[in-house]
Structure 1
Amino acid sequence: MQRALEILQKYWHYTSFRPVQEDIIQSVLNGGDTFGLMPTGGGKSLCFQVPTMVNEGLCLVISPLIALMKDQVNQLQSRDIKAIALTGSIKADELIDLLDNCQFGNYKFLYLSPERLEQDWVLERIKTLPISLIAIDEAHCVSQWGHDFRPSYLKIKNLKTHFPKIPFIALTASATPQVQEDIISLLGLEKPKVFQQSFARKNLGYFIIKAEDKLYKLNQILQKNPEPAIIYVRNRKNCHEYAAHLKALGHKTTFYHGGLPAKEKEVNMNSWMKDETPVMIATSAFGMGIDKPTVKTVIHINLPENLESYYQEAGRAGRNGEKAFAILISSPSDVIQAESQFIAVLPDTIFLKEVFVKLCNYFRIAYGEGINDEFSFSLNQFCSYYKFPVLKTFNALQFLDRQGIISLSQEFSEKAQVQFLIESKEVIRYISLNPDDEAVMSVILRTYPGIFDLQTNINTVFIAKKANVTEAKVLNLLEKLKNLEIIDYFSQQNESKITFLEVREDDRTINRISKHLEKQNLVKKNQLDSVIQYVSDEGNCKSKSLLHYFGETIKEDCGVCSYCVSKKPKLVNAEAIRNQILEVLSQKEMTSRELIALFEAEESEILNSLKQLLEHHLIAFNSKNQYTLIK
C-alpha cells in the first residue's frame, strides 16, 4: 500500500485515504473481484484510479453518464494522467483513432458507456488492449430493482469470458440489499470482497418542512443560510421561474437543466463553482460528478422519484464535514403531483404496443422487415401526428431502446430558443397592430412566463397545436419577430435518429418484453411509495429511516434531523414573545409573515402567541389581513 499512498500524494495531493478506500484498493491490488458501496462524496473513483496507476496497463471504466465520464477524464487530464472517453457523439473514424491511442499511446483510462460494448467491432478492439482492471461505475444500473436500470449493463458479464484473469470492481453510491445481491450475481463477480461504508452522515441534518407557499419558505431558508446551495425543482420551466423569483428577492442565482446549450451550462456551472452565483436552481440533470465541498444546503422543492436519487442529491451538501442541511419542502398536493409526474407517465403493455405499431407504420415498415433501418425522428411531430402524450411516449421509446428493440439517439431538444427584447407593454402594442399574429404570440406568452428574462426553450409543435395553426406559420413568425428585433431567436435543427434492431413482429415482440415492463413499473411505484412514507412519517428519525431503507440499522437517533430537533426541549418564554408582538404592533400593523421574519423565535411559537392574543381580544385582523392592536 505504500506505493498506492505515494500515487495518492503525487497526483491527488491527499495525505491519506478515506475510510474503506484503503481496504478496497488493497483488494483490487490483490487481484480479486471487489464490490464497493460508498455514499455520494465517499471517493469511489479513487478506488479504481489509484490501483490502475500502481499497476501496468489500462483500466476500462464502464459508466452510464456522458457528463460523469467527461468530468472524470478532465480531472485525470488536469493531473497529467492520460485518459479517453468514448462518448456517443464520436464518429466511427474518430473511435478508431482513439482506440489506436489506447493501444499504442500509453493511456491509463478508457471510459465508455455499456451501450458501446454492444458494438461488436468496438468489443473486438477492446480485446486487444492491455487491460489490467475493469471498473463498473454506478453499478446499481445492472439491477432491475435499481433506480436507473440499463439492460446493456447485463452484457458486461460477457467481458469475464474475454478477460478471465482481470479483476472487476463494481461501485455504487446507493443500493438496497436486494440490488446489492443482483449486482454481484448479474456481473458475474467471483467471490468478491464486499466493502460497505456507512450511509450515515453525522454532519448532515435531513429536514422535512411543510409549507403551502414554497417560495416564501425557500426565501426564509436562504436568508438564514446564505452559503452555497442547490435547489432541485421538477422541470426546466420551474428552473427559470424559481431563478427569476429568487433573483427578484435579492439572491444571486443561476440555473442548470438538460435543455441548456453546452456553453450556457458551462458558464452557469462555473459561475456557481466560483460563488459568483451561490444559489443553483436545477433539475436532476445537475450534480453527478460535481464536487463542491462548501455546499451548505440542498433543498428539494418537490418529491423525488426515489430515495436512491434523493440520498445522492441530498448528499452533495456538507462534503467538507461541516454542519449542513438537506431540506425537503412538502405540501399536501405533492403526492398527487408526484404520481402524475412519475407514475401516470409509465407506459403499460397496451400503450407500449400501440406506440411500437404506430412507429413502424410511421416509417412504413412492413411486418417481418425493418432490421437495421435508420430514420431521422422528431418526438414532438410523432406525438402530434398520433395525439400521444409526449413524456409517456418517450418513456415507451426509451424502454424499447433499453430492451434492444430499437436504438434511440437521445438528442431530443426543443427546436427554438426565444427571449423577448422589448417590454411586455410593447409586445401588447405590437399584437394590437398585428392581429394575425395574436393567436401564436398569446400561446407563447401564456406558456413561457419567463421569456422576457431568459433565453427560453419553446416547443413549436405544441404552440402550433394550441394556436390552431401550422408549425411553419409559427417558425415564420419567429423569423419575422427576430428581423424586427422584437425577439432574440435561435433555431436548433438537430433531430434524433431511430434504428430498428429487430424485424417487426408486433405482438411477438411486445409480449416477449412485457414482463420486464410490468416489473419496471412495479419497482417505480414501490420506490415512490417509499418516498411518500419517508416524508409523511413524523414518528421516526429521518436519518434512521433512510439508513433502514438501504439495509443499515443503527440504534441511536441522529440528533440533527427535523424529527430529532422537534423532540429537543425548548426553553420558550411565551409571555416575552407575546409582549414583543404587542410592542411591535403598537408601532405598525403587520402580517404574520412580517412578524415571523422579525423575531428569532420558531415560527410555530410566534403563530401560537398570535393565536393566544387573538383569543384574549388583545389583537385583531384589519381589512389588509394584518394584525393590529385593539385599543
Structure 2
Amino acid sequence: MPKPIEILKKYWNHDAFRTPQEAIINSVLEGKDTFGLMPTGGGKSITFQVPALMMEGICLVISPLVALMKDQVENLQSKGIKAIALTGGIHSEELIDLLDNCQYGNYKFLYLSPERLQSDWVLERIKNLPINLITIDEAHCVSQWGHDFRPAYLKIAKLKEFFPKTPFLALTATATSKVQEDIIAQLQMQNPQVYTKSFARENLAYMVFNVEDKLNLLEQILKKNPQPAILYVNNRKSCSETTLQLNALGYSSTYYHGGLSAKEKEKNRMLWMDEKVQVMVATNAFGMGIDKGNVKTVVHLHIPSNLENYYQEAGRAGRNGEKAFAILLTNPSNVIHAESQFISILCDKAFLKTVYIKLCNYFQIAYGEGLDEKFTFNINHFCTKYSFPVLKVYNALQFLDRQGILTLSQEFSEKITLQFSIPSKEVMRYISLNPQDEEVLLTILRTNPGVYESQSVINISLIAKKSNSDESQVLAILHKLNEKGIIALHAKNNDASITFNEVREDDRTINRVAKYLEAQNELKTNQLQSVLNYIKEDSQCRSKLLLNYFGEKTNEDCGVCSYCISKNKKQVSTQTIAFEIIELLKKEELNSRDIQKSLNYPKDAIIFALQVLMENDTIIMNPTNLYSIKK
C-alpha cells in the first residue's frame, strides 16, 4: 500500500500535510470513526480523498452542496480519478445506469445528496457496492442545532447497519461544541477520534467599523490595499449597483450572484482570479471551492445572518499566511434593518403550507402526483400572482429544499411570454388547417386564458407535459407562430427551476416538517442575535469573540483587530488634534471628511475637536460645509 504522503505528492503535488490532515487520514486508515473540524481553507477534501485512493473499493461522500460536489468530481476527473455525483433532478432510469457504473466501472468516489438515501431502492443498490469509507461533508447539517439542518441527514446512520466495519468520517468547517456532540450522537459514531483545528487566524485582522458613509471608507480601504478583494452584499441588486459605483471611482470590479448564467459566472470569476479586476462584489453564492491565496481584504457591506457564514466568508482572506483584513461595515440603521429583515422573512407553519399549496396549484400538480416533475420557475411572477412577499417565499422554498420536499436550483434559463396577435376565430381557423399544432395550442389556451388580452407567462415544461410533447417541439411551434405573426413572443432570463421530490400531500407533507421549522426559526433568531452582539460589543477583542462563539476559550487578545488597535493607540489630547486641524486650515478650507483623511486620529476625536474649535470661535463653517480659520 502506498503511503499517504506519496498519494498527496502524486495527485496534488504537495510535499506536506496541514495540521490535522495526516492525523485524520491515519485514523481513517485504521478503520476508526473520525470527526474532523477544520475551518474554511483547511483542506477537508484531502482527508477523505487520500485514504480512499489508498484502499480498495469506493468512497461514499454525502454532501448537500451540489456545486461543491460537481467541483470536486471535476477536479478528481482532471487528475484521472474516476468519480461520479448523483445530484438532485436525476430521474430513476438514469440513476440506475449511474449506480451500475459505480458497481462495474472501477469508480473510486460516489458523491450523493443526503436526500438520495431516503429512497429505499438507492440504499439497496449502495449496500452492494464495495464501500471503503463513508464521508459526511458539511456534517453540521446533521445536528438540529447546526445552521442549515437537513432531516435527510438523519438517515445516514442507517448505513451503519449495512457497513458496520466501514469507518465514518464527519467533516465540517463551523460547529460549536454543542453541534459537535450532536453530530457524533446522530451519526451513531463509535468511539470516534476527534480532531479539531483552531479557529484562530493570527494573520487575519477582524475589523468592525460603525460608519455612515460606507462607500467613502470602502474607497480608502481599497486604495490602501490594492490586492485582490471580495466585497459581500446581501442581494443581487446591490451586486450590480456597488460594482458600478466602484468602477466609477476607478476601482476595477465585477460581480457574482445566483441569477447569472453559468457562462457569466465563470467569466466574472476568471476576471477576478486572473486579477484583471481587483474586486469581486458578490452574494454568498460566491466562495465555495474558491481557493485564492492572496486575497488581502474581505469586506461585508451588509450584516450577515449568522457568525458561521461570516467566519467562512471572512476566512477567504489571507490564506497565503500574509496579513489580511476581514472588515464589517455597519451603522445603527443597518442593525435595525437586519433585525426586521431577517426576522420578518421567517415563515411559520401556516405560511409554509400556503406557499406549498399555491406552488402545486401554480404548476397544476394534482393531489397524489408530482413525483420527479421539474419546472422552470420565476419567483417574482409567482409572488406577484399570489401577492406574496418575495424574500419570505424564497425563505420558505429554501426550507422545503433543505427538507428534501423539492429541489430549488439556481440556474439560468428563459422565461417565455406571449400574446396572440389575431382574434380567437382566426386562431381556431389556423388550428383546423394545422392539426399537428392543435394539442400545443389548445393546451396554451386552456392554461393561459388571458393570452388574447396581454403578454402571459408560458410554462414550457407544463405545456409539454399537458400536450404530450417535448419542450423542443413546443418551442419550435411557438417560434413558427411568431414568424407568421400569429403571436408576439418574448424570451427573458429566468433564474430557477423546481423539481418535486415527493407526491403532493399538503397537510401530511407540511405537518411532517413543522417541528423542524419551529426549531430552525428559533435557531436563526439566536444566530442573528449573536451577530448583533459581535457588532455591538466594543470592549473585547474581535478574534476572541469569534473563538468563544465556537467554543474555543482564550484569554489572549489578537493584537490586530479593530478593538485591539484602538486600545493600543496612545490617547491623544483634544488640544493636540485641534492644533493639527488649525495647521491644516491655515493652508486651505476643508470639510470634515478631508480633515479625517489627513489626520490619523479616530473620527469621533476629530469631530469633538472641531466642535471645541467652533465653540471657541477659532474656526467657522461656511454654507458649503467647509471649515476655515475665523478672521
TM-score by shorter chain over 0.5: yes
Deviation at 1:283, TM superposition (A): 0.4
The farther-off stretch of 250-259 and 376-385 is 376-385
Q: CA deviation at 1:343?
A: 1.5
Instruction: Please say if 1:504 is aligned against 2:500.
Output: no
Superimposed CA distance per residue, residues 303-324 of structure 1 (whole angstroms, 9 cap, x where no aligned partner): 1111111111111111111111
Equivalent-residue separation in structure 2 for 1:14 and 1:401 (angstroms): 38
| Paired residue type of 2:129 | L
Give, in whole Å, the separation in 1 of the partners of 2:572 and 2:39. 38
CA offset digits 1:196-244 (Å, max 9, x no partner): 1111111111111000111111111111111111111010000001111
Distance 1:217 1:34, change over 3 A: same
Q: Corresponding residue for 2:336?
A: 336
Please say if residues 140 and 146 of structure 1, whose CA atoms lie closer than 8 Å, have aligned partners that are also in contact: yes
Alpha-carbon distance between aligned partners in 2 of 1:601 and 1:490, rounded to the nearest angstrom: 55
CA deviation profile, 1:92-115 (whole Å, cap 9, x unmatched)? 555444434433333322222222
- Answer yes or no: is the 8 Å Cα contact 2:262–2:411 preserved in 1: no
CA distance in 2, matches of 1:370, 1:528: 38
Q: Please tell me whether residue 204 in structure 1 is matched to residue 204 in structure 2.
A: yes
SS in 2 for 1:227: coil
Deviation for aligned residue 1:73? 2.3
**Partner Cα distance (2:208, 2:408) in 1:** 39
Matched, 1:276 2:276: yes
Partner of 2:60, secondary structure, is: strand
Structure 1 unaligned blocks of 5 or more: 418-468, 484-488
**% of aligned pairs identical?**
58
How far apart in 2 are the matches of 1:181 and 1:193? 13
Match of 1:23 in 2: 23
2:138 maps to: 138
Q: Distance in 2 between matches of 1:38 and 1:92?
A: 35
Correspondence for 2:233 = 233
Residue 151 (structure 2) aligns with: 151
Is residue 407 of structure 1 aligned with residue 406 of structure 2? yes
Instruction: Give the TM-score taking structure 2 as reference length.
Output: 0.83
Match of 1:316, SS state, is coil
Q: Per-residue deviation at 1:533? A: 0.9
Compared CA separation, residues 365 and 248, structure 1 to 2 (3 A): closer
Structure 2 vs 1, CA of residues 252 and 501 (structure 1 numbering), >3 Å: closer, same or farther?
same
* Equivalence for 1:84: 84
Taking the aligned partners of 1:569 and 1:335, their CA distance within structure 2 comes to 27
CA contact (8 A) 1:366 1:504 kept: no
Q: Are 2:291 and 1:297 aligned?
A: no
Match of 1:205, SS?
strand
Distance 1:100 1:2 in 2: 28
**Structure-1 separation of matches of 2:505 and 2:53:** 48
Q: Spell out the pairing of 1:152-551 with structure 2 (5 A cutoff).
A: 152-359=152-359, 362=362, 369-370=368-369, 372=371, 374=373, 376=375, 378=377, 379-403=379-403, 406-411=405-410, 470-472=454-456, 491-492=492-493, 496-499=497-500, 501-502=502-503, 504=505, 506=507, 509-551=509-551
Q: Deviation string for 1:388-419 (max 9, x for gaps)?
A: 22222233344344445x424435768569xx
In structure 2, the partner of 1:556 is 556
Describe the SS at the equivalent of 2:264.
helix
Q: Secondary structure at the match of 1:45?
A: helix
Q: 1:73-125 CA distances to partner (integer Å, 9 max, x unpaired)?
A: 23323333332223335555554444344333333222222223334444333
Q: Is the 8 A contact 1:360 1:504 kept in 2?
A: no
Pair 1:627 & 2:622 matched: no
**Aligned in 2, Cα 1:187/1:15: closer, same or farther, shift over 3 Å?**
same
* CA spacing shift, 1:184–1:622, aligned 2, 3 Å: same
Name the amino acid aligned to 1:504.
E
**Contact persistence 1:259–1:413 (CA under 8 A):** yes
d(CA) in 2 for partners of 1:588, 1:562: 32
Alpha-carbon offset, residue 621 of structure 1: 0.7
Following the alignment from structure 1 to structure 2, what is the Cα–Cα distance between the partners of residues 585 and 284? Answer: 44
Q: How many residues align?
A: 566
Report the residue type matching 1:499 in the other structure. Answer: F
Question: 1:304 is paired with a residue of what secondary structure?
Answer: coil
Q: Distance in 2 between matches of 1:373 and 1:322?
A: 49
What TM-score do the two structures reach when normalised by structure 1? 0.83
CA–CA separation in structure 2 for the residues paired with 1:395 and 1:471: 29
- Relative to 1, partners in 2 of residues 1:364 and 1:66: Cα closer, same or farther, differing over 3 Å? closer
Structure 2 gaps, min length 5: 417-452, 459-478, 484-489
Tell me, in whole angstroms, the C-alpha distance in 2 between the residues paired with 1:408 and 1:569.
Answer: 52
- Distance in 1 (alpha carbons) for counterparts of 2:388 and 2:518: 20
* CA distance in structure 1 between the aligned counterparts of 2:415 and 2:249, rounded to whole angstroms: 29
* Amino acid aligned to 2:112: L
One-letter amino acid of the counterpart of residue 225, structure 1: N
**Residues 573 and 392 (structure 1), Cα distance of their counterparts in 2 relative to 1, 3 Å cut:** closer
Residue type of the alignment partner of 1:59: C
Correspondence for 2:420 = none
Q: Structure 1 residues 401 and 18, CA, compared in 2 at 3 Å: closer, same or farther?
A: closer
1:59–1:132 Cα contact (<8 Å) kept:
yes
Cα distance, 1:257 vs structure 2: 0.5
1:8 alignment partner in structure 2: 8
Q: 1:351 to 1:117 in 2, by over 3 A?
A: same
The aligned amino acid for 2:53 is: M
Letter in 1 for 2:24: I
Matched residue of 2:587: which SS? coil
User: What SS does structure 1 have at the residue aligned with 2:44?
Assistant: coil
Cα distance in 2 for residues equivalent to 1:416 and 1:358? 20
Matched with 2:475 is: none
The Cα of 1:604 is off from its aligned counterpart by: 4.3
2-structure distance, mates of 1:210, 1:493: 37
Distance (whole Å) between structure 2 residues aligned to residue 125 and residue 509 of structure 1: 27
Check conservation: 2:356, 2:506, Cα contact below 8 A: no
Letter in 2 for 1:496: S
Deviations along 1:517-554, whole A, 9 cap, x unmatched? 21111011011111111111112111111111111111
In structure 2, what is the Cα distance between the partners aligned to 1:79 and 1:495?
Answer: 32
Q: Which amino acid in 1 is paired with 2:30?
A: N
Instruction: Give the secondary-structure state (helix, strand or coil) at the position aligned to 2:303.
Output: coil
Task: Please give the per-residue CA displacement for 1:158-201, whole angstroms capped at 9, x wherever unaligned.
Answer: 22222222111000010011211121111221221111111111
Task: Determine the structure 2 residue equivalent to 1:69.
Answer: 69
Aligned-CA RMSD value = 2.9
CA contact (8 A) 2:210 2:330 kept: yes
